[in-house]
Structure 1
């Protein structure tokens, strides 16, 4: 049997372990976390991620525990909508539920090792880095020049039990900050980002919430109401790190998936989606091709696409968190809104 060592038991690692053929591969998953997390934000599942979930065999279960995203608006900090976007069939699943379902899909033949690795596992076979933005595999195999890059932005996320108000769903862009409100299975999912000197590691969640309440005190009432109800036990706070661009996701018998390969800012909401697609793409190629050909095909299919998404996400973050350019951004978006309103009126009068 072919040996596969997967470092990291998060979204990408579990999805890969679930899809590799157990009769062909001897799979070991190394994960430092002894238990699945109990707190996590909501992740939007785009169509490509939904197809990946179907490949894993958990799409129906994921939909059953997840609300449909529906429509939401990009708004200014006061809550006035600029543009409304229909989410179609997109749904939002809690990271906790997603990891639980992926974990349940992993065959019993997969060996689990729970410990924090300080060096790479030895032995022959394929080494998969699914260990996130601070990947040990990437650092040891690709070199220290590929270490994660710290951004100036803080991400604070959480849920509150109160049901979401559909008229308040969307993303609010202020001056150098943004705030998002969406539905979750248990009530309301929210997230916020702004430039902060907290961290970069071991951030006190209560301190981050206090900073958020001060930062958004002059914003829309919906934001203030959500933050008033937020508690540390249902919230997370972390600085945003990204992965530098890599010339290849493959080096010898090592390969990177998910955030280990392409951690990006969260502005497009594609990080978890692309991690799932990485995993099922790599698994299907390994299941059907010799390893060398499978790795080459995976690199061709995934590197340029995820690089484009990383660049797009970073560009959107600069627009959403604009400070000096915020007045110009808002004027342009107000003009676009008025133009759309006039077009809608004209269409209605001609019907």
Structure 2
């Protein structure tokens, strides 16, 4: 039997991870990517244990750990910086999106063909076509119909990196009225992000304008937040509308399959989008390496659809709570009560050892 032709539409996290995992002895792989070069700016991504196992199978976990940062703890905070609920992050590794993409790119075999340019429709004739082209996936719309088109949320995401590591007492996510601000260490600097309702977009957003809006919006927050935003520059920041995908019952149709955000784009509130994209890619690659196409796709749907759709829904619910406007006092009171109970339980556990 000859080589099986696989077209991967999209050279982001999911597309590169799949290209790195497919057996070059079985597959003739082409990756189509419209981006001419790796991004220079990107937020820090938290790699949960499942994603770390996927990175290990690809062969780059050690490199990710050496170039990333260990995430130990943070807190959900009030705008003033008061910790309301401690969050443990033991075992998590933080890595910038550009660095992760670069490492994934180095893991792709030299036999993989790269095609640069925008893809308006997937090329015909492949044994398998993979939609790894993100939330606005051309592949998903072509094969799942216009009802599957991405949907804009009311929220803008503004994020970036500034010099200097944050103090441990400032790390975490600040929940205000209809807005959140996050702060975490990132390779010797500080990774920050903000999200709030905005009329900017939904197309290309002017980063300088978004930064000015963000500074005004968070002017009443803690000194740590204001200092970070004062340092933020358009060159080291991104601003874009948050989009999501509608629910899908299957990620494959015929010889077409979706991975990552093309199948289950979610709001960033759980920090799981990149992780699940990696897990998708490695799971699909392993199945294709070992099983006939129909069996591999059936097993992939069984492994990944329910799990990722649950996370998509949970992320949306968390976003609704975090960005609540009218229910803020109730929400914050609940967080404080939960925080007290967690602290008490931790103290009792410590005295019982």
TM-score normalised by length of structure 2? 0.97
- Pick one of 322, 325, 328 that aligns with 1:323: 325
* Cross-structure match for 2:46: 44
2:183 alignment counterpart: 181
Alignment of 1:295-310 (within 5 A): 295-310=297-312
Match of 2:100 among 74, 77, 98: 98
The aligned residue for residue 263 of structure 1 is 265
Secondary structure of residue in 2 paired with 1:83: strand
CA distance in 2, matches of 1:196, 1:100: 32
- How far residue 191 of structure 1 moved from its aligned partner, in angstroms, is 0.6
1:241 maps to which residue? 243
**Aligned partners of 1:239 and 1:21: how far apart in 2?**
37
- SS for the counterpart of 1:123 is coil
Match of 1:167 in 2: 169
**Pair 1:224 & 2:221 matched:** no
| 1:215 aligns with one of 207, 217, 220 | 217
Contact 2:155 2:242 in 1 (8 A): yes
Shift, 1:298, TM fit? 0.3
How do 1:13-162 residues align onto structure 2 when only pairs under 5 Å count? 13-162=15-164
Q: CA deviation at 1:343?
A: 5.4
Gap change, CA 1:343 and 1:108, over 3 Å in 2: closer
Q: Distance in 1 between matches of 2:185 and 2:119?
A: 37
- State the match for 1:273 in structure 2: 275
In 2, the alpha carbon distance for the partners of 1:337 and 1:288 equals 47
CA separation of 1:137/1:341 partners in 2, compared to 1, >3 Å: closer, same or farther? closer
Aligned-pair distance for 1:335?
Answer: 2.5
In structure 2, distance between residues paired with 1:226 and 1:250: 43
Cα offset for 1:6?
0.2
Unaligned 5+ segments in structure 2 are none
**Alpha-carbon separation, structure 2, partners of 1:334 and 1:124:** 55
Q: 1:341 Cα shift?
A: 4.8
**Inter-partner Cα distance in structure 2 for 1:42 and 1:67:** 9
SS at match of 2:77: strand
Change (3 A) 1:345 1:274: closer
The 2-side partners of 1:181 and 1:55 are apart by: 30
Cα distance in 2 between the residues matched to 1:138 and 1:337: 42
Number of residue pairs the alignment of both structures matches:
351
- Secondary structure of residue in 2 paired with 1:306: helix
Query: What SS is found at the alignment partner of 1:151?
Result: strand
Other structure's SS at 2:90 match: coil
* Counterpart contact for 2:86–2:339, Cα < 8 Å: no
Classify 1:70/1:125 alpha carbon distance in 2 versus 1 (closer, same or farther; 3 Å): same
Shift in Å, 1:338: 3.6
Aligned to 1:2: 4
Q: How has the CA–CA distance of structure 1 residues 34 and 89 changed in structure 2, closer, same or farther, with 3 Å as cutoff? A: same
Task: Report the Cα distance in structure 1 between the residues aligned to 2:59 and 2:34, rounded to whole angstroms.
Answer: 26
Q: Distance in 2 between matches of 1:113 and 1:186?
A: 35
Shift of 1:124: 3.1
Equivalent-residue separation in structure 2 for 1:343 and 1:33 (angstroms): 49
Q: Write the distance in 2 (CA, Å) between the matches of 1:52 and 1:136.
A: 26
- Cα RMSD of the aligned pairs, angstroms, is 1.4
Match of residue 288, structure 2, among 286, 289, 300: 286
**Aligned-partner Cα distance in 2 for 1:24–1:343:** 53
Q: In the TM superposition, what is the alpha-carbon distance from 1:122 to its structure 2 partner?
A: 1.8
